[in-house]
Structure 1
Amino acid sequence: MPEVAIVDACQRRRGGGSPTAVLDDAPLTGEERRRIPTELGTSHAVFLRATGVERARPSYTLRFFTAAGELPACGHGTVAALALLAHRAGDDAYHAVLRTTHGSFDGRATRNGDGLTASFDPGPVSLREVRGPELEAVAQGLGLTPEAVAGDACVASNGRPRLLLAVRSRAVLAGLTPDFPLLRAACDRYGLLGCYAYSPPDRHGRTAARMFAPSIGVPEDIANANSTACLAAHTVGSGMDRLVVDMGDHLGRPSTVTAAVHHDGLERRIQVGGRAAIVRTLVR
């Protein structure tokens, strides 16, 4: 078994973040891969496999696992992987091409004191309107009353669909007490990864969010970068090109994910990421 690095991804003020296991790929069974997050106390494990050079940059294939199985993508896992690769390379500015089952994309990391700031382009985001029964079922699973919903909801996907649901305030967000069996049943019924609930961003693009994904074995995610990228795609129509999203406070792991929308003519690209630090290395 290769060494396992535990990386706190998407930290806030050099603390908190989502503990993520990152290791080089090995001939492991799916069951063995699923056991690693549980054994190490992380929500996800990321497996790296070097694949040579692509577009004049080192290239890697990433695979992501939770205790429930493999995922096609994981945003904070990608941030953690980039931080470890940059640390190994010893570069102050690191670039790589990353490939997942969802596609290939560019990633970068820059050294920032005793940590690294990593970001990547998760690719295009598709958005669709959410229908009444779908919204009602998920809101019921979250324990939300109609008055607590801000009315701005959609289903977004950059790999797997998830419901983006605005609530009235940070106080409403902090007070959510989901019925996880009910929420999972609603997400499974409508083919959703989960629900990303958020408070309306202020004029500077700062907001808070909580990501619930019981269908993939993660009742609540400490930090969720791919859903934050989806939110950036959803809010860009209101003229907001940058988001700073606080997550993880309810779990005692304060985290922050950033997303920026870059305009290139009619094309829009989203860069999402956060600060990461390698906190320990284990030999299993």
Structure 2
Amino acid sequence: MRVPIYQVDAFTKRRFAGNPAAVVVLPSFPSDTVMRAVAAENNLAETAFLVQEEGQYHLRWFTPAVEVPLCGHATLATAAVVMERLSPNLGGVVFQTASGELPVARSADGYVLDFPSRPSEKVSSPPDVSKALGIMPTEVYRNQFNYLAVLDDARNVRDLQPDLVAIAGLDRSGIIVTAPGDDGYDFVSRYFAPAKGVPEDPVTGAAHCMLAPYWAERSGRSSFVAYQASRRGGEVVCRLCGDRVELEGSCVFYLEGQADISL
């Protein structure tokens, strides 16, 4: 079966930066085995699979190893595909997903995702977290998805060289590392999830669903301009709105074509 496929750089205004996501447009979802194989073949942090059915857009996301319940950059990329290629007159789209309805609206500079907030609780710094990172965090938080390790300086976040094997052995699927921002940003971060087949994710929307409530509580503010300091790097505008987080970013198309997804 040949289907349209796009590769889009998300959370960036320039090509070869941000987080690349593949978007595969389907008449219906194939088996999980096929989608895992396609995602592994693409070898990107996430591949989004989109099905339009009875006027609704259904969306699923796969890393090269597993299906994930929420993915920001691939949702942003899929919104760009829908509103720039499939239905250019749309001003917004609502995706039906494992995390509920996810609205995305056009903005002056790109698109705004409306995602669920992911609050966290403070925990005593587990020795395995500091050992995996190679540095002692000032604070450690967790929720059901990830650890959040807070460092005191943005340079420490940028220079971090963690033990990915040790991170893969943690009892959460990934670890976010953050610090107060530099270069005009409110905060910086990086995200490591080797257990999900993503050693380091370049720019992670879902991580900012945890970062935004943390920094809101710490600062008393609700709006931030954040930078994810991976090698590619990307900018995310975050706004905490009750139990939701708005994530705003831009997209750049890199590749458009067809894929043969027959096994």
TM-score using structure 2 length? 0.88
Instruction: List structure 1 segments (4+ residues) > 4 angstroms apart after TM superposition.
Output: 12-15, 202-205
| 2:121 paired residue number | 128
Q: Which blocks of at least 5 consecutive residues in structure 2 are unaligned?
A: none
> Aligned partners of 1:69 and 1:152: how far apart in 2?
29
* Residue of structure 2 in register with 1:169 after alignment: 153
CA-CA distance at 1:283 after TM superposition? 1.3
CA distance in 1, matches of 2:183, 2:44: 34
Aligned pair partner of 2:44 in 34, 42, 49: 42
Residue 105 of structure 1 corresponds to: 102
Aligned alpha-carbon RMSD (Å): 2.2
Counterpart Cα distance in 1 of 2:199 and 2:23: 21
Q: Which residue of 251, 256, 261 corresponds with 1:276?
A: 251
Deviations 1:77-134 (A, max 9, x none): 111111111112213x62122121121132112465xxxx12211123232222343x
Count of residue pairs brought into register by the alignment: 255
Whole-angstrom CA distance in 1 between matches of 2:201 and 2:117: 22
Amino acid of the residue matched to residue 163 of structure 1? Answer: Y
8 Å CA contact retained: 2:122, 2:139: no
- Specify the alignment match of 2:130 in structure 1: 139
**Cα pair distance change 1:248/1:30, threshold 3 Å:** farther
SS at match of 1:122: strand
Amino acid at match of 1:126: P
In the alignment, which of 140, 149, 152 is matched to residue 153 of structure 1? 140
Matches within 5 A, 1:67-86: 67-86=64-83
* Rounded Cα–Cα distance in structure 2 between residues aligned with 1:204 and 1:242: 14
Aligned-partner SS, 2:44: coil
Distance 1:201 1:37 in 2: 33
Structure 2: distance between partners of 1:180 and 1:122: 28
Residue of structure 2 in register with 1:31 after alignment: 33
Alignment CA distance shift 1:45-1:268 (3 Å): closer
Does 1:182 find its partner at 2:166? Answer: yes
Find the residue that maps to 1:107 and give its secondary structure.
Answer: strand
User: How far apart are 1:6 and its partner, in Å?
Assistant: 0.5
The 8 Å contact of residues 22 and 48 in structure 2, kept in 1 or not, is answered as: yes
Deviation at 1:10, TM superposition (A): 0.6
**Match in the other structure for 1:247:** 228
Q: Which digits, 9 at most, give the CA deviation of each residue in 1:33-69, with x for residues without a partner? A: 123233234221001112334xxxxx31110001111
Map 1:207-222 → 2, pairs under 5 A: 207-222=187-202
Q: What do the CA deviations read for 1:188-223 (whole angstroms, capped 9, x no partner)?
A: xx2x12111012146965222110001100010001
Letter paired with 2:130: A
8 Å CA contact retained: 1:17, 1:248: no
Look up the equivalent residue of 2:10 and give its one-letter code: A
Match of residue 258, structure 1, among 234, 237, 255: 237
User: TM-score when scaled to structure 1?
Assistant: 0.82
Structure 1 alignment gaps of length 5 or more? 54-58
- Which of 55, 61, 66 is residue 63 of structure 2 equivalent to? 66
Q: 1:203 to 1:152 in 2, by over 3 A?
A: farther
